[in-house]
Structure 1
Amino acid sequence: MPYLLISLPAGLIADRVDQRKLMIACDLGRMTLLLSLPLASLAGVLSLAFLHGLILTCGVLTVLFNVAYRSTLPRLLTEHQLVDGNAKLTMSQDLGELVGPSIGGVLIGVLGAARTFFANALAYLTSAVTLWMIRAEPVDRSAGAPEERRPLRAELTEGIVFISRHPILRSLLLCSTTSNFFVMASGAIEVTFMVRELDAPSWLVGVVYSISAVGGLVIGALSRRISERVGSARIIWVAMVAPGPLYLCMPLAQPGWGVLLYGIGLAAFSANIVLYSVAATSYRQRVTPAHMLGRVNASVLWICYGAIPLGSLTGGGLASTLGLRTALWICVLGTWSAALWVFFSPLRTMRNLPESRTVPEPEPEFSGV
């Protein structure tokens, strides 16, 4: 819900305030909220309503943080370092997703579920401290910005308008949204598929997800070299097209060790996510004016993340109606089809990203149906 409700206002806020201070405030806010959970449990006042309110508030702070952090990197790195910098951020996220559940399981066993949230609070405090340690020259956020004050609605939707008039950013948005929709559709049924159709025990399901995470980490470590070899712009559509055949391993998986075919398909998708996301984010950071990067990033999150719950519901509906394996075939082919948006776009004629954060001439507006 928070991505659907406040992404656009979050973008405007990120464009108007010091983004580093905003991220620190979000970290400290989430730390405080998560500390309240074990304290409420110890005091005997923990309830489902309390959890719902805490999750929603944490979600709001997470949206603000994610919009700000996607807009901060260009302040810290040169343009030629953006691809490598985004790759390292993606790798750190994949590593956290790989080891986090294992650490969480151990802590739950030792401390109990509620007390484990003390560790989450410590993690947010660590994040806030490391952000505070960053020393960067402040950016003049008014540079290139319109001087006149405009209606709030116009400022909120400026990111969407900018994307809609930029042919490559528009193609990237459509590609990401299509991919998110079908990936979440398959994600909603994949554990059920492995357990019911493939008779996979829980430990083997864990191995499958580990294979997937390792695939993303390996490609993340090599992403700069791959980008330089293939081309920093060309890699966007290559990353979407090339791994597609391996996605088919997922519905082709069979019981026994054939379950590992599913892991191969997931690993291919993890590699795709790293290469595509790094290059697409770097392109967006290059071509978007600094004064509106927050709103453009927020617009992308609003639409792309808004497709996630719809995809999950669709995956469950397809599985219930057509069966798990048939639904999975539809999902993986739908995921691969997202590549069409970037393959049939101006990116196919480009090798490298533009050298400066200049705004290409937008498409003219037109009237008609």
Structure 2
Amino acid sequence: MTETAEAATATGPAAARAAVPQDRTRYLTASGVALWGSQIGQVAVPLTAVTVLHAGAGGTSLLKTALTLPFVILGLPVGAWLDRVRRRPVMIGADLVRAAALTSVPVAAWFGCLTMTHLMAVVVVQGVATVFFDLATQSLVKDLAPGALLARTNARLATITQAAVIAGPPLAGWAAGLLSAPTVLLVMAAGYLWSAGWLSTLTTHEHPTGDAPRRRLLHEIGEGVAFVARQPVLRTVVIAGSMVNIGIAGVMTLLPVLALTELGWSEGTLGMFLGTGGLGGLIGAVTAVRLADKLGAGRAVLLVGIAVAPLAIAIPLLGRPVPGPLAATGWALVMLKVGFDSVLMTTFRQQVTPTGLMARVNGTMRVLFTGAVALGAATAGALATAVGIRWALAASAACLACVWIPIARSPLRRMTALRTAP
């Protein structure tokens, strides 16, 4: 071997391996900014509508719908398209689009020409760009975190997410009071530019999506849906995740009504109760990989589910006969399970999905999970009207309490090693 060849051998792969930790840090920084921005935006955008445009409940509800609808409509085609292209440029482009859209809001507000139509358009653009960003980032992580690093990277992402869920809304409210809601959106725009800057520094090469000839987009969408339907681990992830989303959506829809009207709680007390859930989710995300290493990943998911998921039944019994602090403890443990699963279930999904199908599988999952949220909220409202709030809460809690059953009946419970699909 020549001296030049030896140098290339020594520096090439070593440099590539050395780039992985740096790129993981950059990726987590960029994704963290986006996650925090999403949580802050869920408060800052409605506050802008209320404080600047004097919108009512109907207007803020439309804004919420406009933000989530793109995931249902675009999840499948965007997922299929992302399996044809490099994901990093898409993520950078999505950040730039979100930054430009958000910047237009404070500028219009300062000139006194902001309208509800303008704000609605910005929310729609935000939602569409977030579809592209989220599905791309869920696919890119497999290249940045090979092998056993995958679960640890997912754990860090889940920790960032839970921290944003806990602290993002209060931070948005405090910042809006200090700076004004439109100014908070300008800060968010700067954050998206920062995210794009970090993504532009990534050096890891994305794995090719394959040399298969391009077919009609509808056919490729069908391949992703069919793969999810026939893959037993993915089927279990879909069923368990949908049960969680249905249950949480129902609880979050009805609990404020129960707490504020029947129990006479203040908004602050309700916020503290829900905050215990965020804290539980954070603990679950932080401890997931460590416990999975000790028990085996699939066994850990099953045992934690059996141990804590049934505690969800305390929610419909809140105040009568279960006292608030005890119910809050149960809610924190249930959300610990949710945070725990968010790490390991995401890793399972990435492990069994080939690279060439990753974005399509992520898109299919996102559509199904978003639909489950909508179904949970709508069903809870209908049941509350028909049989009362507590019985409707009991139905939602039952979905959470039984989430371990499909896991116990699937091959997922036997998964131990963290392997990456080819």
Q: Same fold (TM over 0.5)?
A: yes
Question: Residue by residue, what CA displacement relative to the aligned partner does 1:302-350 show, whole Å, maximum 9, x if unpaired?
Answer: 11111211211111122222222221111101222333222211223x1
Cross-structure match for 1:337: 402
Classify 1:299/1:335 alpha carbon distance in 2 versus 1 (closer, same or farther; 3 Å). same
Structural mapping, 1:48-67, within 5 Å: 48-67=116-135
CA distance in 2, matches of 1:264, 1:131: 39
- Supply the AA of the counterpart residue of 1:303: L
Are 2:86 and 1:22 aligned? Answer: no
CA distance in 2, matches of 1:150, 1:22: 21
Cross-structure match for 2:110: 42
RMSD of aligned alpha carbons: 1.9
CA contact (8 A) 1:198 1:259 kept: no
Q: Aligned match of 1:226 in 287, 291, 294?
A: 291
Cross-structure match for 2:56: none
TM superposition shift of 1:32: 0.9
Are 2:261 and 1:164 aligned? Answer: no
Classify 1:265/1:128 alpha carbon distance in 2 versus 1 (closer, same or farther; 3 Å). farther
CA contact (8 A) 1:230 1:351 kept: no
CA distance in 1, matches of 2:269, 2:227: 46
CA distance in 2, matches of 1:307, 1:57: 23
- More displaced 10-residue stretch of structure 1: 197-206 or 247-256: 247-256
CA distance in 2, matches of 1:322, 1:36: 46
- More displaced 10-residue stretch of structure 1: 159-168 or 110-119: 110-119
Mark the runs of 5 or more structure 2 residues left unpaired by the alignment.
1-68
Are 2:243 and 1:175 aligned? Answer: no
- The two structures have a TM-score, normalised by structure 2, of 0.79
CA contact (8 A) 1:315 1:327 kept: yes
Q: Aligned match of 2:388 in 318, 323, 334?
A: 323
Are 2:323 and 1:246 aligned? Answer: no
CA contact (8 A) 2:298 2:415 kept: yes
CA distance in 2, matches of 1:119, 1:257: 43
TM superposition shift of 1:257: 10
Classify 1:257/1:204 alpha carbon distance in 2 versus 1 (closer, same or farther; 3 Å). farther
Cross-structure match for 2:173: 105
SS in 2 for 1:63: helix
CA contact (8 A) 2:74 2:131 kept: yes
TM superposition shift of 1:356: 4.0
Q: Aligned match of 2:203 in 127, 135, 158?
A: 135
SS in 1 for 2:421: coil
Cross-structure match for 2:156: 88
TM superposition shift of 1:351: 4.4
SS in 1 for 2:264: coil
Higher relative contact order (CA 8 A, sep 6+): 1
Question: Residue by residue, what CA displacement relative to the aligned partner does 1:174-206 show, whole Å, maximum 9, x if unpaired?
Answer: 221222122211211111111122221122112
Question: Residue by residue, what CA displacement relative to the aligned partner does 1:104-128 show, whole Å, maximum 9, x if unpaired?
Answer: 1111112222222112212222222
- Supply the AA of the counterpart residue of 1:62: T
Cross-structure match for 2:330: 265
Question: Residue by residue, what CA displacement relative to the aligned partner does 1:57-98 show, whole Å, maximum 9, x if unpaired?
Answer: 111111111111111111011211111110110110111121
CA distance in 2, matches of 1:301, 1:252: 32
Structural mapping, 1:278-357, within 5 Å: 278-348=343-413, 350-353=414-417, 355-357=419-421
CA contact (8 A) 2:154 2:343 kept: yes
CA contact (8 A) 2:313 2:401 kept: no
CA distance in 2, matches of 1:33, 1:109: 22
CA contact (8 A) 1:247 1:269 kept: yes
- More displaced 10-residue stretch of structure 1: 45-54 or 20-29: 45-54
CA distance in 2, matches of 1:256, 1:34: 47
CA distance in 2, matches of 1:224, 1:303: 26
Classify 1:18/1:148 alpha carbon distance in 2 versus 1 (closer, same or farther; 3 Å). closer
- Supply the AA of the counterpart residue of 1:93: T
- Supply the AA of the counterpart residue of 1:262: A
CA distance in 1, matches of 2:215, 2:309: 45
TM superposition shift of 1:219: 2.2
CA distance in 2, matches of 1:292, 1:162: 8
Mark the runs of 5 or more structure 1 residues left unpaired by the alignment.
359-369
CA distance in 1, matches of 2:408, 2:74: 32
- Supply the AA of the counterpart residue of 2:252: G
TM superposition shift of 1:149: 3.2
SS in 1 for 2:182: coil
CA contact (8 A) 2:81 2:217 kept: no
TM superposition shift of 1:354: 5.7
CA distance in 2, matches of 1:13, 1:48: 32
Classify 1:255/1:354 alpha carbon distance in 2 versus 1 (closer, same or farther; 3 Å). closer
TM superposition shift of 1:255: 7.7
Runs of 4+ aligned residues of structure 1 deviating over 4 Å after TM superposition are none
CA distance in 2, matches of 1:152, 1:66: 20
- For this pair of structures, how many residues does the alignment match? 354
| Richer in helix (by share) | 2
CA contact (8 A) 2:148 2:418 kept: no
CA distance in 1, matches of 2:133, 2:364: 14
Are 2:213 and 1:148 aligned? Answer: yes
Q: Aligned match of 1:187 in 252, 261, 269?
A: 252
Structural mapping, 1:110-129, within 5 Å: 110-129=178-197
